[in-house]
Amino acid sequence: MYHFQPAICYSGYREGQSPRKQMYPTDQDVLEDLKHLQTFVKHIRMYDTSFHVKQVCKLIINHDIDLKIMLGVEPKGELDNPNCHFGGRYSKEEIEHNKRTNYQQLDEMIELATTYKDIVFAVSVGNENTSDWHPNLMPEQALIDHVHYVRQNIDVPITFCEGQYFWLQNKKLGEVVDFISIHSYPQWQSLPLDEAIKKTKQDIKEAKETFFNKPVIITEFGWATQANHQMIISEATEENQAIYLDAVYQHLKEENMLAYLFEAYDETWKGSSNTEEQEKHWGIFNEDRTPKKWQKEKPFYELSNLNND
């Protein structure tokens, strides 16, 4: 179930579209993406319970698309986080409100997982919400409670998605999820390419040793092809993306490990108005769906020849 197989994070927003503006991809846009994705992956991951996610689930079923989906929620902060530089400050009243809306999100995810049970691979109760920089910081116990709540309502594997470093600080949460989902982004640590490859391999080793009694997968890893800060800007290239992904995928095959690449398509709506900002450039395809170097020279769909379920 958790062995090596092609998987990718997906968001379908194209030029001019943005969840901030509530301007969503059309059904035709999404169907084109899903038909494309199914040619080289069997699993996609999405993050919330938005209109776009519901749209994707419906189209997969209605058009018999050969994809399984990992669903998730984006909890609002239940801790005031002064360490965050882009939000994260909440009053006691706001935290109480967030606690209620977070359970409403869980209910929506449960409903989606029930409605589309034939295609839902797993669900996640959050994404990086224990990282000390996060604008929506959550206490470990709250996430544990969320796992128990979801488990009472659906029979689907449950996880939480977080960077490997912060997983080491939340081992109790690791005891209650069905599998561990780590993120590895050495580029954010300003590591040069060779060291970055070693760091991702080390993250995998460390996670498997720490949570030796649980399946471990990666729910995010990748290489940005442009950057304007917080990284070695000169190393954010399509050439380095190709080298990094080749090396990591070879290791994933050796480890027989399921991993969701971040991500399918560039998302230029993210971040600021600076077009070079790295949040916009993690895709293995450009926003217009043209392939970057790795896909041109060594197509991802070659991985789909491996057995999967």
In a domain, 1, yes or no: no
Q: What is the 3-state secondary structure (H, E, C) of the chain?
A: CCCCCEEEECCCCCCCCECCCCECCCHHHHHHHHHHHCCCCCEEECCCCCHHHHHHHHHHHHCCCCCEEEEECCCCCCCCCCCCCCCCCCCHHHHHHHHHHHHHHHHHHHHHHHHCCCCEEEEEEEECCCCCCCCCCCCHHHHHHHHHHHHCCCCCCEEEEEEHHHHCCCHHHHHHCCCEEEEECHHHHCCCHHHHHHHHHHHHHHHHHHCCCCCEEEEEECCCCCCCCCCCHHHCCHHHHHHHHHHHHHHHHHHCCCEEECCCECCCCCCCCCCCCHHHCCCCECCCCCECHHHHHCCHHHHHHCCCC
| Model pLDDT, residue 267 | 97
In a domain, 67, yes or no: yes
Domain membership of residue 202 as a residue range: 6-305
CATH number at residue 222: 3.20.20.80
| Model pLDDT, residue 308 | 42
In a domain, 78, yes or no: yes
Residue 280 has pLDDT above 90, yes or no: yes
Domain count, the chain: 1
pLDDT band at 299 (very low <50, low <70, confident <90, very high): low
pLDDT in tens, 214-252: 999 999 999 999 999 999 999 999 999 999 999 999 999
pTM: 0.95
In a domain, 250, yes or no: yes
